[in-house]
């Protein structure tokens, strides 16, 4: 098959982005706990969208700007999704 694209680099990049998103999520939860906001580590995956929203609102209120961890999480999770889709498309060709 001429011009077939290897999906493995995109899968590796997706995995790196997932790790990046997990680290950002843990740091967001930690930042909320330092501000005396209760965080359930057991339900972290289910409550993550709420925690990310809370972090965004709190940092905006405190500093007038959205905190950097919000962008770290959003960019990482979107890149992971895009790389996974590209890898799936490349694997089908």
The pLDDT score that the predictor gives to residue 4 is 73
Any long-range contacts for 43-47 (C-beta under 8 Å, 24+ apart)? none
Domain boundaries, the chain: 8-92
For residue 84, give Cα distances in angstroms to 21, 28, 40, 50.
Answer: 14, 24, 29, 24
Q: Would you give per-residue pLDDT tens digits along the chain (93 residues)?
A: 556 788 999 999 999 999 999 999 999 999 999 999 999 989 999 999 999 999 999 999 999 999 999 999 999 999 999 999 999 999 887
């Amino acid at each position: 098959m001429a011009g077939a694209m290897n999906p493995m680099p995109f899968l590796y990049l997706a995995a790196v982005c997932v790790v990046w998103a997990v680290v950002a999520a843990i740091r967001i939860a930690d930042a909320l706990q330092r501000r005396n906001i209760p965080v359930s580590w057991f339900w972290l995956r289910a409550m993550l969208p709420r925690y990310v929203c809370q972090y965004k609102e709190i940092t905006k209120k405190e500093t007038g700007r959205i905190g950097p961890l919000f962008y770290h999480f959003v960019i990482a999770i979107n890149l992971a999704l895009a790389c996974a889709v590209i890898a799936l498309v490349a694997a089908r060709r």
